[in-house]
Amino acid sequence: MRLILITFIACVILLAYPEIVHAARNKAGKETSASTGKTSSSTTKGGSKKQSTGSDSKAGSGSKTSTTPTKDKKKGSKTQADAPKSSPPAGTASSPSEEQTIEPVTRDKCPSKPESCSSSIKGLSTCCYEEYGVHLFSVQWDKTLNQAPGFTIHGLWPNTCANGPAPPSGCGKSDRRLKSPKVTEILKKNGLLDQMNMYWPSRGASNGQFWMEEWNKHGTCASTLNPECYPAPKKSNADAVEYFGRALELNKKYDFYTALKEGGVVPDDKETYTPKQITDAIEKKYNIAVDLRCNGNVLSEIRTFFNVKDITSYVPIAIPKNEVGVPKKQCTGNIVYPAKNPQE
């Protein structure tokens, strides 16, 4: 009976004062929320501190304040963009049409035996091989050039590997061009002037003018003669001296006058010879292919072609296809090999 009475009184109070129940419920909810929030805050604080430490280690900034995800992403993107791009390996190209720049080295550091116009030059500096890899050596026969009994030098001309001409104005820096008096001075200083006057005389202009033109147009295109290719101590005008020296050596090595004489082909204003008689006599002695040039039916020039190996060694090659059968000055029929004028 007492229990029923107490229950009845409680119901009356709840109906009369509902705000008491609502307040009690709010208090209980806040206590539960505070307890849960404290636990969550503690967990978040520890995780945040751990995350911040990881970010500092990666960024290397030393800051203990973690950045927002948006800023992290932006900063990471900027770092990636600023990072240097890796270059392709030396001697390779990103695409078949892309040329690779190879730093020059001095000739004493070149690998041995690279030969122009061959696979052995791949990845090498042009100080180590001739960029214009076919060298045409021309000697001329002129009866008025009678300082020496034999052929005289016309020129040593670097051509492309397809036997195309180098730039007509020469190659490299303009300060390598020489004036006529300077060329003569250089040759005299290096003990080559007497040989040049004997074996490389001019048919028209002065010798110095002729040599100047040959150097400026052709000699400067020999890539292994670039001044930066020479090791220290560098010698003044070593490039020009070596160019003229190479031509003189080739003329000495391939003495076509003697080869023809040994083959029964001698200068005579009345006698004629076939092209085969002349080429056979030279090929028999030197095992080298030659291209004959004539003015009309008079022998005027003999050309030979070389690749350049190990910088200074000249290797004879076959006559390039674009040189064979050239109508201009080509020798056909019987050829006159005229005697030189007597020296006055």
Does some domain include residue 229? yes
Q: How far is Cα 14 from Cα 332, in angstroms, rounded to an integer?
A: 136
Contact (CB, 8 A) for 181 and 208: yes
| Phi–psi pair at 37, nearest 5 degrees | -60, -40
- Of residues 74 and 150, the one with the higher pLDDT is 150
- Give buried/exposed letters for 44-80 (b at 16+ CB in 10 A, else e): eeeeeeeeeeeeeeeeeeeeeebeeeeeeeeeeeeee
Residue 285's pLDDT is 98
Question: Which residues are registered as beta bridge partners of 244?
Answer: none
Q: How far is Cα 66 from Cα 48, in angstroms, rounded to an integer?
A: 8
Question: Which residues are registered as beta bridge partners of 158?
Answer: 135
Tell whether pTM > 0.75: no
Does some domain include residue 114? no
Cα distances (angstroms) measured from residue 16 to each of 10, 111, 250: 10, 109, 130
119-144: average pLDDT: 96
Q: Please tell me the least confidently modeled range out of 92-96, 133-137, 180-184, 333-337.
A: 92-96
Q: How far is Cα 41 from Cα 44, in angstroms, rounded to an integer?
A: 5
Place of tokens 């104005």: 169
Place of tokens 């080295």: 105
Task: Give the max Cα distance, the chain.
Answer: 166
Contacts of 32 (CB under 8 A, 6+ apart): none
User: DSSP secondary-structure letter at 229?
Assistant: G
Question: 264 in the Ramachandran plot: left (φ > 0), alpha (ψ -120 to 50) or beta?
Answer: left
Known catalytic residues are 154, 214, 218
Tally of domains in the chain: 1
Q: How far is Cα 75 from Cα 177, in angstroms, rounded to an integer?
A: 55
Q: How far is Cα 209 from Cα 202, in angstroms, rounded to an integer?
A: 8
292-305: average pLDDT: 96
Q: How far is Cα 344 from Cα 340, in angstroms, rounded to an integer?
A: 12
100, pLDDT greater than 90: no
Domain with 277, as residue range(s), is: 135-337
Does some domain include residue 25? no
Q: Name the residue among 96, 139, 111 with its Cα closest to residue 288.
A: 139
Does some domain include residue 315? yes
Does some domain include residue 115? no
Does some domain include residue 321? yes
- Tell me the per-residue pLDDT of 268-277, one tens digit each, with 9 for 90 and over: 999 999 999 9
Does some domain include residue 237? yes
333-344: average pLDDT: 88
Does some domain include residue 54? no
30, pLDDT greater than 90: no
Which CATH number characterizes residue 225's domain? 3.90.730.10
Q: How far is Cα 151 from Cα 139, in angstroms, rounded to an integer?
A: 6
